[in-house]
Each structure stands twice: as C-alpha cells, then as structure tokens.
Structure 1
C-alpha cells in the first residue's frame, strides 16, 4: 500500500493501516501513524496517542509498550528474546530460545533511523532520543540523548 506522500490514495492507505492496527494491537491510541512494510510478528503491542512507526520497522520476540507522541524513524529494529548458546555439545539451534522480552518506551521519545534495540533493554525513558544507527544494549534514562555502538549518553535534553 502506498505511503502517505501519495496524494489521496496514500492517505487512504495510512488510514487503512491505522484501522488494522487498532484491531490487532492490545491497545492503539488516536492519531497513530503506521508506515509501509512494518513487521510485528506474533507480539503484544500497545501504542499511545500521536505515536508512529516508520517504514520497515521490525519487532521480534518482544512485548512492546509505546507511550504518547513517540516517533520511530524508518528501519528501526527491536530484537527481543534470542537464542541460548552456552553449551558446546549441542548446536545453537538445538538449545532453544530465550523468553520474549518486554520493552517500554516512554512518552515523547524519538528513535532515530536504523537504530537497533536489543533484548536486555527494558525501558527507554520519557523524552529520550536514540541517535541514528545506534545499538541500544541497556536501559536509557529519561531525557537522555544516546548514540553509538553500543549507545552511550552523549548529552541530556534541557
């Protein structure tokens, strides 16, 4: 389905995606914006008012709770769970999977283009900013701006 930049048909497509998400998410607020090629898998998702998911968003093995007015740029990946790999006498594929993780994203958060959030992250705080191409490996405090691989605090919002 076309993105919102296409006159008329793009807006209809956006509204159609919004209506579908209201049916499949645990909860969906008003004025949500879900772009093209978004992958949710078999995960529980709640999204607040005025929040959106950019094109090519990918969610894997994670319950996701998104606050209000959250901007998720294109190509963001949230990778929860994972494989068990401690034993050497079994192949990694034979050892099973870690349980799904749970991630809470606070209000007024911006996840930059192509950032990746890994399974040990439980919370991205209110007002936080995650820089483009960052790899988040631990929780992000309220109003922190993080960037890099692994993501580190580079400054604070005032």
Structure 2
C-alpha cells in the first residue's frame, strides 16, 4: 500500500468510509502485529475525519491501558466499568455518546471532547481492546459510524 491515503473531499461520511475501508484492509492484511495495525488505523481515521482523538486501549492486568493513538495526550489507564471505555468493556457492547457531559462517570481526558464512540474488540468472547474516538462536536457519531468502525475493528482482530 502506498504511504498516501486517497480520501474523497465530498464531505459525505459514507463516501469517506467506503474509500478508506479497502485502504485499511490493504494496510493491515499483510501485517500480523496488532500494535502496528492499531497505529495505522488510528492514523487513517484521524486523517480521514479530523477527529479530536482516535486510539486504542488494550486490556492488561484488569485495566484498559493506552495503546496507539492520534491526538492530544490521553488518560493512560482506565478501570473496568469506568467511563465510556470501561463501560463498553464491561458490557461487551459499543457505546455512542452524543454528549459526553450527559454520560454518568465520563472520564474527561480532554475538556475539548464533546461526543464519543467506543467499539470493543472481542476474541474468544473476551474484550481484548477498545477503539475510542472523541469529537469536538456534539452528536458527531451515529449508526453509520458504528457500522463502519465495527468493520474496521474486525479487520484488525
């Protein structure tokens, strides 16, 4: 895969996802290292959508530990069941948060974050990591993001 992304400038979310899906597949298909794949996926999503923060947390010693990411400095460790990431881990389900201020127990790694989506990555019926994306915009994420981001997570599982 070339080191340059081909991202449409239509501003239509679906067009962007449809364009980056095969590019992400090409990036990760020949690489077996999870961390390397997470790093590239974070970079692609950040560049394609200009999200505030895109990254992964990995389950280690009963905590989520910061993994590859793009964006401002982040929380290093998150406890099971805490915040959006810890809750998604506990529930083994994706969470879309239109307004982080309305989410009980939200962990504010950045005061600029206004909305968030978290996709747990599951293998052998256990969460081993989560994809976490924050936006400076309220109501930034929806079912379309959930669908495409889940597909992306499945590529690097």
| TM-score, normalised via structure 1 length | 0.26
**More helix per residue:** 2
Q: Which has the higher contact order (CA 8 A, sep 6+)?
A: 2
| TM-score, normalised via structure 2 length | 0.26
